[in-house]
Structure 1
Amino acid sequence: MKLSLPSFAKINWSLRVLGKRSDGYHELCTVFQTVSLCDRIDFEVSENLSLTCSDPRIPTTADNLILKAAERLRAAAGISLGARIHLEKRIPSPGGLGGGSSNAAVALIGLSRLWEVDAASILPQLAAEIGADVPFFLYGGTAIGTGRGDVIEPIDDIPSGQMLIVTPDIAIPTAEVFARFRAETLTDTDQNHNLSVCRAEAEKLRPAVSELVNDLEGIVFKAFPEVARVKMALEEHGAVNAVLCGSGASVVGVFDKKETRQTAEKALDSESTWRKFAVSAVSRSEYREGLGL
């Protein structure tokens, strides 16, 4: 048996760091959105579990989240089946676009189908164990992420228009960014109030006109000035809005016209180390259809 599935990237329409929880983690409220930029993962039944990748820079050892997902699924299902997995990589890694997390979630979905495991009830828990962003990719579309970003609340799709993602050739260590963030310790009352306000803001968000806020931008832009330059360049070339994706280094620009986006993309050709991706939002229904859910 063989199957091939898309593994979509994500952006963050907003990312608020609400404070530090009693367990040491930061309490987040973020609005996730899947976009059309995607990897592709091929699965085939095999005696052993193996992974190959089109990009030689991506490790295919046990540290890869695809293999971690496979091992967790096998352990949870009590099986020892194998699979030959190939990752056709297009999402920049690293880049703040959730490529590895998306790959892990799609591996859980694809392998449960390949191995004929009824795993629907356990996939959210397995996804959360692998990484904070992984659970979102079981849903797709537009969703609010709270907790560490791993508690997912799907919301109505947000109209977003034309978008251009720009990724400079910079690797930003997420853990270091959060370590530099000075956040006050939250009480339970603070936490509940902040989350309530954040959810209300998320449901009113309109990317072309709302202020897009990522609380990590100040730290990232100070430590990596080229990322700040990406955002400025997008705005200078006609983006009506732009915001850092996750902890970076990708920045997404929102344009009111396709022609303006095309002009901006062409103007940025002079930046030889910046990768550019013209994308559109992927709704929840489109996401589910693409993955056969």
Structure 2
Amino acid sequence: LEKLVESGMTQLVLDLRGNGGGIMDAAVEIADEFLSGDKLITYTEGAHKKKEEYRCRRNGMFEEGKLVVLADEGTASASEILIGALQDWDRATIVGRRTFGKGLVQEQFNLSNRGALRLTVSRYYTPLGRSIQRAYATGNEKYFSEVQNSGFHSDSATVDTTGKKFKTASGKTLYEGGGIAPDVWVASDTSSISYAMAYMYGNRLVNQFTYRYPTRFPALFNIYKTPEAFRQQYSIDENAIQYFNQQILKDSMNTSTLTPSEMKFLMNSMKTGIARQLWRNEGYYRVQNAGDEAVLKALDILRNL
């Protein structure tokens, strides 16, 4: 972040999709980089635990620039603390899908037999007082199935208005319950899921191709000096598809069985995978983001802020 700010960055897309969180203190410190003054970031409170607040303590590196945060059902725990704070303070536009809803605080008690007992003692709340935790009274099966399916159901883009209502300083209405709902919804793409696709990806056939192809034909890729040049100029052609089909013949697979949308998805995966082999994450994200609906939506929002 420091390097980006020093280079003159005025707009930022923060991608927290699939980020399962981690240490709460890290989330608080990151939020402090985007929020000004002594704003409340989060607080914990339980039936037998007093309220404990966590606030901004210093000047942040990016308190005024335009900010969009990407989230989905894999965004959980500390990541939800960060997103909730930015949304409550109208600091960022949240794009994507509803987050996981993991907002419980556990305390560990050591036992005499060298074991330990962890008890849930309180919950995490956003600055406005929204509980992050999703309801779990209906049992584990429903609890986890809700998350697995949230990105695929059409009603996942419907705001649950049954929860407690909150208002931000700008007048935006937010609701409590089931994680953090985004401000702008981007549905999950289910058009590319089939047995053939599941087999190819589940058995790492695509990964094997993206490793072998540039290694087998280095001259095809030596002409691209930067990830951006590769993104703009290179396309998966018939030769690449033919090579892939030769590699997967032993698995009785062939791309001729795929639908046009599946082929588009596959070819994009091939290109992003090759970019990762050549330039690591810099290449991967440069290519991947160019066709990412959530990223494209975020860029559109930034242009209109």
User: TM-score range with shorter-chain normalisation?
Assistant: under 0.3
TM-score, length-normalised on structure 1?
0.26
Larger relative contact order (Cα-Cα within 8 Å, sequence gap ≥ 6): 1
Structure with the largest fraction of helix: 2
Larger C-alpha radius of gyration, 1 or 2? 2
